[in-house]
Structures are given as structure tokens and as C-alpha cells.
Structure 1
Amino acid sequence: MIQQTDFFFEGGRSGVLLIHGLTGTPMEMKLLGKGLNRAGFTVHGMQLAGHCGNVEDLLATGWRDWYASVEQAADALLEKVDHLFVGGLSMGALLALKLAADRPAQVAGVGVYGATFRYDGWSIPRMARLSFLLPLLKRLGIGRDRSFMEQPPYGIRDERLRAQVSTAMLGGDSAAAGLPGNPWYSLAEMYRLAADVRRRLPQVTAPCLVAHASDDDVASPKNAELVLRHVAAPTELLLLEDSYHMITIDRERRTLIDRSAAFFERVVATGQSPHIAAAA
């Protein structure tokens, strides 16, 4: 059964919608959300459709369902704020970029955190690196009951935090720590989303803070470079040297919070986004 784990922190008239990753949970965005709220932002950490339940709950949804839940959450937050920022981790970063491409008049800026177009980090097993072939297998009806299981270090460099998260995840607490594996069919949906977002990157005109671990174990910095090369927006790169993939909770999370808050504040102050400039 799916549990509701989204969170909402009321703040000022600038709001941030935070989007977790595939098989993840809003809990992976909560520390970032609290930090942004302390900086004065209204924050909603949303829950993607099909997540925070079991594998069957997730398999009952696809990327269009996940994106529809993002759009619904964005609409709700827009009723409470004047400036809408959106930030996502891993697959959540792709959903954030898609929202910015689809809604250039509404999205003021984007936090692109550990963007994952392809699982090509150093901890990914050789076979799993072929997961971009999964959309074909799904079309052929092959592998519905198969998953790629998460591998140590689980995207977390901090050993104490890694132990806590892995215990919850492997113990079946998907609401707190997500699922312990990535179902093949859900990965196939993620790659379909990635293909759509790659095509749409030139339509992203909102300023982007692109943050990535330089030693990312799940998605190499090539994923960040893809965003930097192809969006039509002003960009700022933040490379984190002491974190793995889960940069929103790992050792440099305070740096990520501070840089994100400063970036979003600067966009509002300078009227840098097309949306703000048009409204001025």
C-alpha cells in the first residue's frame, strides 16, 4: 500500500517544488527542503505517482503518470507563490527540466541535482549499464518481474548515513528509503522520459543550477555536461567533491542548500528568468 510522505513548508512568495528520484521518496529531499524554507522559500516536497509502496504499485505507473503528478503539484504550488522554482534529484531532475521546457512562462529557475539520463556511474554493474535497452525488452514483453538491485554504496559517501538508509531500504521501508531495486519496466519508462527530455533541452529557458557529484557512483558527470551543453538558459555548475549520487542528503548537503538558495534568490532579484521579466 502506498504511503503519503510528501511535505509542505510554508514560507514567502517564492516557492520551490522538490522532486525525488525513481524508486525514491520525498524523504531524500526533506533536508534540502528544510534548508530552503529557513532561507525564506515556500517548499513542497512532492511524491511521484506509484512511489512509496511496493513494486506492483510502481509498475502500475509509467513516466507520463510521474510527470502528471509533477504538473499537478506545480499547479497547486503556483496558487500559493509568485515565483515557482523546481528542483529534482536523479530522475527527478529530468522531470524538473521537462516542466521547465513545457512551461517557460511559469518556471522561474531549475535545480538540476545529479541529473540521470543514463546509469553510467562507477558502481553500476556492467550488465546494468545496458539498461538503456530495456524499452525494447518492455515492448517485447520480456522481464516484467526482473529488477536491478541497488548496490553499495547506494549513492551515499557518508558511511553512517549509508548504514541507516540501507537498513531501512533493505528492511522494506519504502516510504522512508525507497525500494531496494529498480524494476526493469520502470527503468524502461525512465529511459523513455530521458529520451523525451534530451530532445526538449533546447527549450529550457529558465536559469539552471546544475549540481553533480564529481565522483558520482550512479550517474557520471557526463549527465550534467549534457544539460550544460544543450539548455538555452543561463547555467551555473556546482561540482561536489565529497559526495556520491544522493547529493541532497550526503556530506555536502549544506553547500547544496546554500548555493541553491542563493541561486534562486538571485534569479528573483535580477529578474533573470523570462517569466519574471515578462511580469515586470
Structure 2
Amino acid sequence: MIEKVDFQFEGGPHGVLLIHGLTGTPAEMRLLGKGLHRAGFTVHGMQLAGHCGDDNDLLATDWKDWYASVQAAADALEQRCSRVFVAGLSMGALLALLLAADRPNRVHGVGVLGATFRYDGWSIPRLGRLSFLLPLLKRLGIGRHRSFMEQPPYGLRDERIRATVSAAMLGGDSAAAGLPGNPWHALADMYTLAARTRRRLPDVVAPCFIAHATEDDVASLKSNARLVERRVSGPVEMLPLDDSYHMITIDRQRRLLHARLGAFFARHAGSEPLPLASVA
């Protein structure tokens, strides 16, 4: 059963839509949402279709459903805010970029956080690096009940946070920490989404703030963040993070990320950010 765990923080006239990653949860965006709210923004940490339940809930959806839920959340935020920004983590970054490509006059800035077009980080096993073949397997009906299980360090350099998140994830609390594995067919849809978003990158004219761990264990900076930097048409600001792994919104350098992204959005909203209060 899917638990509703999205969050809303009412703030100023400018809104930020936050999008979590594949098999993830809005909880991975909550600290960032609090930081942006303290900087004066209205924030919605949305919940992707099919997420925060079990494997069957996720497999009942595909990338089009995930994107439709992003579009609906953006529409709702536009009703309350004069300008809308969007930021996503991992696969959420791809959905954010696709929304910006489709809505060049309605998305005023994009936070591209740990973008994942390819699973080629240092912790990904050799078999996992062949996951780009999964769309073919899905079309052939192969592997519906197979998953790639998450492996240490679970995207987290901070050992204390890693212990907390892994305990919740492996304990079955998908609403708090996401699923412990990536179903093959869901990954197949992620790769289909990645291919579509890659083709649309030149259509992204909104300013892009790209943050990525230099030692990302899931998705390398070179194949993912640099791809976005090269291909989008809008202005780019890059923040490499040298003391974090993939889950940069909650890892060791989260406060730096929150402050820099808030300042970036504030500049493009035509306002100065409020001082950021300390966020855990």
C-alpha cells in the first residue's frame, strides 16, 4: 500500500518543486525543502507515482506516469506562485530537466542534483553497468520480478546517516527510505526516460544549477553532470562536491548545497535570499 508522504512548506511568491529519485521518497528532499523555505520560497516536495509502496506498486507505473505526476504537481504550484523553479535528485533531475524542456517559459530555473543518465559510479558492479540493456529485456517480457539490490555505501559518505537510512530501507520502510532494490523493469523505464531527456537537453533554456559528487558511487560526474553542462542551452553554474556520495541532499555537504541552490534560485527570481537558518 502506498503511503502519502509528500510535503508542503508555504512561503513567498516564488515556488520550488522538489523531485526525488527512482525507488526513493520525498524524505530525501525534505532537508533541502526546509532550507529553501527558510530562504523565502514556497516548497512542494512531491511524491512520484507508484513510489513509497512495494515493488508491485512501482511496477504498476512507468516513466510516463512518473512524469505525469511531475506535470500535475508543477501545475498546482503554478496556481499559487508567480515563478516556479524545479530541482530533482538522481532520476528526479532528469524529470526536472524534461519539465524545463517542455515548459521553457514556465520553469525559471533547474536544480540538477546528482543527475543519473547512466549507472556508472564506482560502487556499481559490472552487471549493473549493463543495465542500459534493460529496455530490451522489458520489451521481451524478461525479468519483471528481478531487482538490482542496493549496495553499501547506499549513496552516503556520512556513516551515521548511512546507518540510519540503510536500517529503515532494509527494514521495509519504503516511505522513509525507499525500496532496497531497483526492479529491472523500473530501471528499464528509467533508461527510456534518460534517452528522451538526453535528446531534449538543448531545449532547456532555463538557468541550471548542477551539483554532483566528485566521487559519486552511483553515477559518475563525467558521464552525467558534464553531459548536462555541455548540452543545455541555458546558463550553467556547477558545484562539484568532494565530501559526499550520490545522495547529496542529505550527505555531508548538504548545508553547502542548500545555501548555494537557494541563492541561485533567488538570483533568478529577482530577489535576495533570506539568511539560511541551520538545518540538520
The normalised TM-score by structure 1 is: 0.96
- The aligned counterpart of 2:74 is 74
Question: Are positions 1:227 and 2:222 aligned together?
Answer: no
What residue is the counterpart of 2:124 in the other structure?
A: 124
**Alignment partner, residue 33 of structure 2:** 33
State the AA in 1 paired with 2:257: L
| Separation (CA, whole Å) in 1 of partners of 2:88 and 2:144 | 27
Shift of 1:4: 0.4
Please report the RMSD computed on the Cα atoms of aligned residues, expressed in angstroms: 0.6
1:259 paired with 2:265, answer: no
Tell me how far apart the structure 1 counterparts of residues 68 and 236 of structure 2 sit (CA, whole Å): 26
1:67 and 1:18 mapped to 2: Cα distance?
13
* 1:278 aligned partner: none
User: 1:22 maps to which residue?
Assistant: 22
The CA distance in 2 between the partners of 1:134 and 1:115, in whole Å, is 19
Q: Which amino acid aligns with 1:166?
A: S
Q: CA deviation at 1:31?
A: 0.1
Amino acid in the other structure paired with 1:72: A
Matched, 1:182 2:182: yes
**1:13-65: CA deviation from partner (whole Å, max 9, x where unpaired):** 11100000000000000000000000000000000000000000000000000
Q: Residue type matched to 1:253 in 2?
A: R
Question: Any runs of at least 4 consecutive aligned residues in structure 1 with deviations exceeding 2 A, and if so which?
Answer: none
Instruction: State how far apart, in whole Å, the 2-side matches of 1:216 and 1:101 are.
Output: 26
Which amino acid is the alignment partner of residue 91 of structure 1? M
User: What is the aligned partner in structure 1 of residue 275 from structure 2?
Assistant: none
Q: What is the alpha-carbon distance in structure 2 between the residues aligned to residue 62 and residue 269 of structure 1?
A: 37
CA–CA distance in structure 1, aligned partners of residues 229 and 2 of structure 2: 36
Q: CA deviation at 1:269?
A: 1.8
Identity of aligned residues (%): 74
**Secondary structure class of the residue paired with 2:270:** helix
Which residue is 1:274 aligned to? none
Deviations 1:115-162 (A, max 9, x none): 000000000011000000000000111100100000000000000000
Tell me, in whole angstroms, the C-alpha distance in 2 between the residues paired with 1:81 and 1:138: 40
Structure 2 counterpart of 1:63 = 63
**How many Å apart are 1:209 and its aligned residue?**
0.1
Partner of 1:85: 85
Look up the match of 2:194. 194
Structure 1 match to 2:10? 10
Q: Secondary structure at the match of 1:154?
A: coil
The one-letter amino acid of 1:101's match is A
Distance in structure 1 (CA, Å) of the matches to 2:207 and 2:39:
19
Question: How far did residue 103 of structure 1 move?
Answer: 0.4
* Number of corresponding residues: 270
Residue 84 of structure 1 deviates from its aligned partner by 0.3
SS of the aligned residue for 2:116 comes to coil
1:58-93 Cα distance to aligned partner (Å, 9 max, x none): 000000000000000000000110110000000000
Give the TM-score taking structure 2 as reference length: 0.96
Cα distance per residue 1:236-273 (max 9 Å; x no partner):
00000100000000000000000001100111228xxx
Matched residues in 1 for 2:174 and 2:270: separation? 39
